[in-house]
Amino acid sequence: MDQKKPEKETSKGTKRRKLGASLDEISFKELAKSDELFRKALDRVENRRRALGESENVGASKKVEPPPPLQSSLPPLPSKSPPCSKLIPLNSVVDFDFNLALTRALLRKEFGVEYFEMPENHLVPPVPNRLSYVRWIEELLGSGDGEVVGLDVGTGASAIYPLLACASHETWKFLASEIDEESVANAVEIVKKNGLEDRITVVGVEAVGTGERRGPILQALAAAKKKDWEDPVDFVMTNPPFYANIEEASECRVDGRERTEMTSHESVTEGGEVGFVRRMLQDSMGLLTKVKQYTAMLSKRKSLSELIEILKTKGVGKACIQTIEFRHGQVVRFGLAWSFEDCVREWSGGEQNEGEKVNMRERVEQFFGGGLAEIESREHGETTTMNVKTETWEANVSVGDGSSRVRINLLQFQGQKGKGNFRETVEKMNGEIYRTNRKWRRKTKGQDKRKDG
């Protein structure tokens, strides 16, 4: 069903592609032939357009690029603000009922989802760009086969991502979290009426602000544990609220169209989408490789750039980060993924061996010495960070003072050979630096003799 076009690398390394393109090619008229409710909604929209003096046929040439719903629970704009001008003919006449009929028809026709209803004033998700996000995650995981478990943070009233993913893969399961009680209830109803209770678990959570110990990922996992959820999560996905405050969410778009209208829970979060994903990032630094891929879909290129810089300040090198650009008509979204698999390793052990304290800094330096790599050490309080460079890869190694914990972050590598060399070195490193003191003394004594000779 999804016909993927060849990838194109931009100068900045961001992949641009159009995933799930076949859905964009379905005309409104074609969809109306197979769905009576959508046909009625389309007729109503066409009549409204004619009444406004618009004579063009909506369904004859328009591609499916679902417009935003026009109902909202957000407060009205202040009276001093100028009214938003409606320059886009289609968006000037569509409404909540039309968007719901369109999404319902696509889900039924393309994915076999028989039941899909939404409470008024909630965002009705457009299917094409949601499907693109799911397809990208398939690529990140390397395969859509086998049992896969995902976590959708902020699933909304629609649970759209679990629906699309589970409809595409019989062996996939989902944990879906949501802060709004009405949305939780509706998502549970959708899951139940489509017979997916054994594959999609919806949990309610509390809103998370900056500075709290648990971010949105840990909140979801804690809530799932109360429901006896035991499956390890392979990936995390989120399409977070875009805006940081009500004023920003209520502003007119630069092209004069009305803002996408939705509930305040769906549109506003502390710090906007950057703040939300930043809190997810904090959770990921504790979970590390317990999750294979951490991902987010963003609305602004600026947000993408800002989050990449934040990842780098946390020691996540560009080798661990992937980005993509989704395009559907005039709608552009940006995908961000980070992973610690093959990029970050952490070990702990051997504080006391044979009654002697282990100097892990010395062991790491000796391991990489002897021409294996160039080392530059920097001290940060009780932690020493060593920048290690070889011919094919570069990494940072952190060692705490008086601690046996060692952590290595891959920053960059040259091709698959470089990544393979890094993996081999790391596996050897694990065995070498945690030898018993007696074995280590024997090893370093042998190295000293070779140097003297």
pLDDT band of residue 171 (cuts 50, 70, 90) is: very high
Specify whether the CB–CB gap between 206 and 226 falls below 8 A.
Answer: no
User: Looking at residue 85, what is its pLDDT?
Assistant: 41
The domains of the chain are located at: 8-22+126-338, 344-452
Q: Which CATH class is domain 344-452?
A: alpha beta
The architecture in CATH of the region 8-22+126-338 reads: 3-Layer(aba) Sandwich (3.40)
User: Looking at residue 439, what is its pLDDT?
Assistant: 58
SS3 sequence, 238-304? ECCCCECCHHHHHCCCCCCCCCCCCCHHHHECCCHHHHHHHHHHHHHHHHHHHCCEEEEEECCHHHH
- Report the C-alpha gap between 305 and 100 in whole angstroms: 33
Give the least confident one: 47-61, 69-83, 306-320, 354-368: 69-83
Q: What is the pTM of this model?
A: 0.73
User: Looking at residue 84, what is its pLDDT?
Assistant: 46
**369: pLDDT strictly greater than 80:** no
**276: pLDDT strictly greater than 80:** yes
Give the least confident one: 52-61, 108-117, 407-416, 439-448: 52-61
Average pLDDT over residues 93-121: 90
Give me 219's structure tokens: 């909140």
Specify whether the CB–CB gap between 119 and 11 falls below 8 A.
Answer: no
Per-residue pLDDT of 286-305, as tens digits, reads: 898 899 999 999 999 999 99
Facing residues of 380 across strands?
Answer: 383
Per-residue pLDDT of 2-13, as tens digits, reads: 444 444 433 333
**20: pLDDT strictly greater than 80:** no
Facing residues of 397 across strands?
Answer: 386, 408
User: Looking at residue 75, what is its pLDDT?
Assistant: 42
pLDDT band of residue 260 (cuts 50, 70, 90) is: low
- Report the C-alpha gap between 312 and 88 in whole angstroms: 40
Average pLDDT over residues 91-106: 83
User: Looking at residue 115, what is its pLDDT?
Assistant: 96
Give the least confident one: 123-137, 187-201, 346-360: 346-360
**443: pLDDT strictly greater than 60:** no
Average pLDDT, the chain: 78
- Report the C-alpha gap between 406 and 367 in whole angstroms: 13
Q: How far is CA 174 from the centre of its chain?
A: 14
